[in-house]
Structure 1
Amino acid sequence: MGTWLSIGHPRVAEVSATDETDFVLIDTEHTTIGLETVENMSRAIESASSSTDTLVRVPWNDPVRIKRVLDIGVDGIMVPMIDTVAEARDFVTAMRYPPDGIRGIASGRAADEGESFEEYVKNANGNHVTIVQIETEQAVENAPSIATVDGVDALFVGPADLSAAIGRFGQWGSDEFNEILERVVNAAHEAGIPIGTLTVNAEHVDLRIQQGFDFLIVGKDTASLTNAISAARAEYDSVLSERATQSQAASKFES
């Protein structure tokens, strides 16, 4: 189980990296989080007294962006909107040094600023989690082939984009959406790789596990914050209402 980070602050990352959290995913596709912030968040996660891994979703299947994130020293990368086998292969190639890939070589933070440079380069290929996002109808059709690409470690269904792509945006309980999920889950399992998805609502965890998902991102920082504030407000209003009712009853009794 992991959690989703879209607030670009190291303390949020550190608090999220608990013993109960297997990994955190830092989203740089739909946020303003830059590489320096990713680096600082990664440091914060590493400083926590847990074994929480750091994954980063990059904005696009861009080898330049991918190599710069890998140089930070994160544990894995997720790429959105992978629709074809060719795109999946390009992603894997960007994750690896030559001769297996095209990742540029540099002695960055991942290589202890050069102290373990040669050892890191020698062992890096295949040691980063490589997650492909399935978010379109084309990707669903190609999922069985994408899942068999050498170097793809897992599939991940992007529920918002995929539900929108089939004309059922946000209809998490619709038959059409769940039939699509079943197809992608089956494609991953037939290829022998795990598949995950995101659920902001913890009440949907049981359903997704029943559907065969192997890992979940449960909740995101902004949603958790707003939900907590809403719950606190509801409790506050409830107490005020109860006290007002009691006060009115007391006034009538005194009269």
Structure 2
Amino acid sequence: MTFKEKLHAGEILYGLTLTLGSPKIAEIIAHLGFDWIWIEAEHTTMSLEDILSQLQAVNGTTTTTIVRVDNNDATTIKRVLDTGPDGIIVPSVNTPDEARQAIKALKYPPLGERGIGLGRAQAYGQTLGEYIKTANDKLVTLFMIEHITAVQNIEEILAVEGLDGVIVGSLDLAGSMNLQNDLGNPLLEIEVQKVLAACLKAGVACGIFVGNAQQAKFRIDQGFRIVTLGADVFLLATAAKSALDLVKAT
């Protein structure tokens, strides 16, 4: 089964966020058994070339590649799609109109208005016809729900045709509620649970970022199915600090 098929079948899918733009790190992670990697282009200095090199490094593995673009802009989305990722995460989708705007950029007609390119996604023109026929069905389309306005509109957002799943962005959601970085606040958890409940009702996969295995189990038991197990920078820093602390203690 493909990542998208597993997503719609209700399976749990484990991913890792890559922020450093290194094709070597992407290649290492892709061989570890993760279902997908989240290439983070919104809050990093990544260029299209950086995205492309990571996708090329992962080629030939079973790991699905999903890029979070930096905004809900048709030209930005189009250019990233032509580098050939398996899916796109659109940030800050707060209204049904913004959801439809994203779908227009992500999908070819008649569902959307995506333009036709000759990039890596289309084997530089060699598989253009087949790609155009299958891209709408194959592309994984995820929206970030990371503002209180998005929570208020969640049922209408989930009803937009072409969406495969959403991911709760707890940090920004907390900020939109004037609860900056207070991830343990019960008021924040109420809103997170509203998103999850709406997804379960609509039959749409819901994802979340977790910091450790205990948090992952807790969220999976609640019903989250797209689980992001941290980020490259956190894992690198944690492992390095642990090694340093251990050697100093001996």
- Which of 1 and 2 has greater Rg? 1
2:24 aligns with one of 11, 16, 20: 11
Distance 1:92 1:209 in 2: 28
Q: Deviations over 1:173-221 (max 9, x none)?
A: 3211211111000111111110001113333112211222112000100
Q: Is the 8 A contact 1:147 1:191 kept in 2?
A: yes
Is 1:39 the equivalent of 2:55? Answer: no
Report the aligned-residue RMSD: 1.2
Distance 1:9 1:175 in 2: 37
Distance 1:237 1:21 in 2: 33
The 5-angstrom pairing of residues 110-129 of structure 1 reads 110-129=121-140
The 5-angstrom pairing of residues 1-255 of structure 1 reads 1-47=14-60, 50-239=61-250
2:10 corresponding residue in structure 1 = none
Amino acid at match of 2:128: F
Structure 2 unpaired stretches of 5+: 1-13
* TM-score of the superposed pair, with normalisation by structure 1: 0.90
CA pair 62-219 structure 1, distance change in 2 beyond 3 A? same
* TM-score of the superposed pair, with normalisation by structure 2: 0.91
Distance 1:86 1:153 in 2: 17
Distance 1:15 1:200 in 2: 20
Distance 2:169 2:37 in 1: 16
Runs of 4+ in 1 over 3 A off after TM superposition: none
**Percent identity between the aligned chains?**
38
Distance 1:8 1:123 in 2: 28
* Length, aligned pairs only: 237
Distance 1:35 1:162 in 2: 28
Distance 2:226 2:110 in 1: 32
CA pair 230-19 structure 1, distance change in 2 beyond 3 A? closer
Distance 1:149 1:180 in 2: 21
Distance 1:147 1:154 in 2: 8
